[in-house]
Amino acid sequence: MSLNDTPRANRLHIGIFGRTNSGKSTLINALTEQDIAITSPVAGTTTDAVFKSMEIKGIGPCVFIDTAGFDDEGELGKLRIESTKKATQKTDIALFVISDYLAQNDLDWLKLLQNKKIPIIPVLNNKGKNDNVKNIEKDFKNITGLELVTVNAKDKRGLEELRTRLIAAIPEDYDSISITNNLCKEGDVVLLVMPQDISAPKGRLILPQVQTLRELLDKKCISISCTTDKMKEALNSLKKPPELIITDSQAFSEVFKLKPKESKLTSFSVLFANYKGDINEYMKGANAIESLNENSHVLIAECCTHVPVGEDIGTVKIPKLLRKKVGDSLKITNVRGNDFPKDLSEYDLIISCGGCMFNRKYILSRIDSAKNQNIPITNYGIVIAYLNGILENVSF
């Protein structure tokens, strides 16, 4: 990602689903007017989901996910299905491509997408073979209740209508989700206390900080930033206490001690818990810490795949805090990136990171999975605030 790009996690994710050879990759190339996906007459050309960031006329920044066809033949078929299922977890809108009459596995997959409440735009890629387009369209409508958009991906026909349907399918609240919500408004002074310790990347700020700063500027707030050791001076330089103070979870207790009582306090992780996930579910999850005992098993899921530096939050800080409270024999498993287990039954609590590298849809799908299996789930910032006894002082 270059600094000029909209972060991938913030883009609308459009997943393309369909049987092998239906023309999914060809359609992506046509829509993006680029040769970004490999196409061929061999079924199973795309074997793993491919993510491509794109700017689309009328839609803006988005990510196309070219998936592997979901036919289930052979061992490769099984792998394709797994990778395509994973792609559904990140999909905001699904293009569902057929090139002929519906088959049973089309229907199964339509149902799977519908169950996940993903808006679906069904596309008939008429490769020029079907002179019975009208019948296919009618048949499709009768069976699914959905209206097909007919295109010819190779000749780039029908794409305007498809774009219109795509724009109409963008979830209404897609752009309105905010990081700081009602915590501050135009003209408010917001103090950002951001320790730049050993675990901070060299020469730059981490994504949640950059995104929060950008939002504050857009909202016309006055943002002031300092490191923890300069917080007193920063406060003294102001005529009145800031409306809001935002800090890192790790600096929370220190900042809380210095905080003027008029100022609200929150952390980047708490803000992102709400922005990227479901804070109410996380609050419930934090309460489950009380029922942990020495035989409990906790899963800590980190999205980033970076190699931990210094006192990493997920592998060092949180385990230390938890074991101090619950006991040394508490079992903790750490996973990274996409390796989130499907079966969560062996865990008593799941703690997820802020999710800055993943889109909201994906984090919500993790929360859903935990909810469905009745396993409490919470996140880094909430746990640290809870274990430091300051959760009731956090604003969100």
Ligand X SMILES: Nc1nc2c(ncn2[C@@H]2O[C@H](COP(=O)(O)OP(=O)(O)OP(=O)(O)O)[C@@H](O)[C@H]2O)c(=O)[nH]1
Q: How far apart are the first and last CA of the chain?
A: 29
Burial classification of residue 10, based on how many CB atoms lie within 10 Å of its CB (0-12 exposed, 13-18 middle, 19 or more buried): middle
Q: Is 178 in the site for Mg ion (CB under 5 A)?
A: no
Q: Is 41 in the site for ligand X (CB under 6 A)?
A: yes
Strand order in the sheet with 189-193: 222-226, 189-193, 244-247, 264-267
Q: Is 152 in the site for ligand X (CB under 6 A)?
A: yes
Q: Is 153 in the site for ligand X (CB under 6 A)?
A: yes
Q: Is 154 in the site for ligand X (CB under 6 A)?
A: yes
Closest to 377 measured CA to CA, from 391, 388, 393, 365: 365
If the CB atoms of residues 46 and 84 are measured against Mg ion, the closer one turns out to be 46
Residue from 11, 17, 23, 247 in contact with ligand X (CB under 6 A): 23
Size of the site for ligand X (CB under 6 A): 23
Rg for the chain, CA atoms, rounded: 24
Q: Which stretch binds ligand X (CB under 6 A): 14-22, 57-65, 115-123, 248-256?
A: 14-22
**Smallest distance from Mg ion to CB 279, Å:** 38
The 3-state DSSP class for residue 34 equals coil
The 3-state DSSP class for residue 350 equals strand
**Residue 265 burial (CB count, 10 A):** 24
What's at 86, amino acid-wise?
A: K
If the CB atoms of residues 14 and 375 are measured against ligand X, the closer one turns out to be 14
Enumerate the H helices of 68-178 as residue ranges. 74-88, 104-115, 133-144, 159-169
Q: Which of residues 104-143 bind ligand X (CB under 6 A)?
A: 125, 127-128
Q: Which residue carries 């993943």 as its tokens?
A: 358
**Smallest distance from ligand X to CB 234, Å:** 54
What secondary structure does DSSP assign to 43-56, as a single string? TT---S-EEEEEEE
Q: Is 26 in the site for ligand X (CB under 6 A)?
A: yes
If the CB atoms of residues 125 and 180 are measured against ligand X, the closer one turns out to be 125
Residue from 13, 15, 17, 22 in contact with ligand X (CB under 6 A): 22
Annotate each residue in 24-63 with x if it binds Mg ion (CB under 5 A) or - if it does not, as one string. Answer: xx-------------------xx-----------------
What are the residues binding Mg ion (CB under 5 A)? 24-25, 45-46
What are the residues binding ligand X (CB under 6 A)? 18, 20-26, 39-41, 43-46, 68-69, 125, 127-128, 152-154
